[in-house]
Amino acid sequence: MNNFIKQTKYLILRRITQFAVIFLYFAGNIWGWQILTGNLSSSQLLTIVPLSDPFAVMQMFFAGAAISIDVIIGALIVTSVYAIIGGRVFCSWVCPINPITDLANYLRRKFEFNKITKRQPSTRNIRFWVLGLSFVLSFFLLVPAFEFISPISMVHRGIIFGLGFTWAVVLVIFFFDMFVLKNGWCGHICPLGAFYGIVGKFSLIRVFHDVEKCTECMKCKEVCPEVQVLPMIAKNTGQVSDSACTNCGRCLDVCEEEGALSFSILGKNS
């Protein structure tokens, strides 16, 4: 039991934050709780603190909307928090799509799909193109373009305000990640993840690897959803420098040796 908790500590913590966030928004709508009202696009914390999705606000800017002070402050708050704790912390600790793609990933490993198709046919840089495309389309279509197709807000909004056909979107993403491309949505396409990756370029919390304690089991590389951020495993001591890392902590969970992988503050070398 102790072992189980040790091996799933961050996973459980993440599921708790993910579902707590959704639940608080849900309660805001259904029972009028005032802890979090709105949804991930824009919301209010305890009726005072505005929070807004900075990526959505940027699309609004490109769409030519007059942007209110409230959303600018909200976007700045969200941006600064993620810039400090790690941009893509959003992806693994908050985003409602994460449990879905995690499940697809888990099943891929379970059924050993990864051994059948080893080569990934596509570059992870596609997401930056999609990010750029979001702005270009927002500019020409005069609406925040990604917000019209974003499965993230669809799922999140769906849970709070009524699902509609969102289940179909969820299934498509699930099957895409499971059968078509490993880490397909979160690791290759999602422009919001790309955006938060840029935001967290200089974030403070980093996974640290101590090569002397490493047993070279390579389990971390097996579970990591952004495996290119772990080039130093079993080679040298150091921190993850690639901001594609979502700080999900799965590598820490599965690590065999206490202290071979740990969370650290930016700048730690030894």
Pick from 24, 35, 159, 163: which binds other proteins (CB under 8 A)? 163
The DSSP letter of residue 255 is: -
Applying CB under 8 A, what is the total number of residues that bind other proteins?
Answer: 55
CB-wise, 39 or 243, nearer to other proteins? 39
The pair of structure tokens assigned to 166 is 């969102």
Task: Supply the Cα-derived Rg of the chain in whole angstroms.
Answer: 19
Q: Closest distance between other proteins and the C-beta of residue 162, in Å?
A: 5
Phi/psi of residue 88, nearest 5 degrees: -85, 15
Q: Closest distance between other proteins and the C-beta of residue 41, in Å?
A: 5
Q: Closest distance between other proteins and the C-beta of residue 56, in Å?
A: 6
Residues 155 and 161: their CA atoms lie apart, in Å, by 10
CB-wise, 1 or 48, nearer to other proteins? 48
CB-wise, 244 or 248, nearer to other proteins? 244
Q: Is 79 in the site for other proteins (CB under 8 A)?
A: no
Q: Is 130 in the site for other proteins (CB under 8 A)?
A: yes
Residues 150 and 166: their CA atoms lie apart, in Å, by 11
Residue among 188, 164, 37, 201 nearest 101 (CA) = 188
Q: Is 171 in the site for other proteins (CB under 8 A)?
A: no
Name residue 52's beta-bridge partners.
42
Residues 182 and 185: their CA atoms lie apart, in Å, by 9
Residues 245 and 98: their CA atoms lie apart, in Å, by 14
What does the chain come to in residues? 270
Q: Is 159 in the site for other proteins (CB under 8 A)?
A: no
Residue among 197, 244, 204, 191 nearest 58 (CA) = 191
CB-wise, 10 or 135, nearer to other proteins? 135
Q: Is 111 in the site for other proteins (CB under 8 A)?
A: no
Residues 127 and 263: their CA atoms lie apart, in Å, by 26
CB-wise, 50 or 187, nearer to other proteins? 50
Q: Is 200 in the site for other proteins (CB under 8 A)?
A: no
Contact string 24-63 vs other proteins (x = CB under 8 A): ----xx--x----xxx-xxxx-----x-xx--xx--x--x
Burial category of 228 from C-beta neighbours within 10 Å (exposed 0-12, middle 13-18, buried 19 and up): exposed
Site of interaction with other proteins (CB under 8 A): 28-29, 32, 37-39, 41-44, 50, 52-53, 56-57, 60, 63-68, 70-71, 74, 123, 125-126, 129-130, 133, 136-137, 140-145, 147-149, 153-154, 157-158, 160-166, 168-169
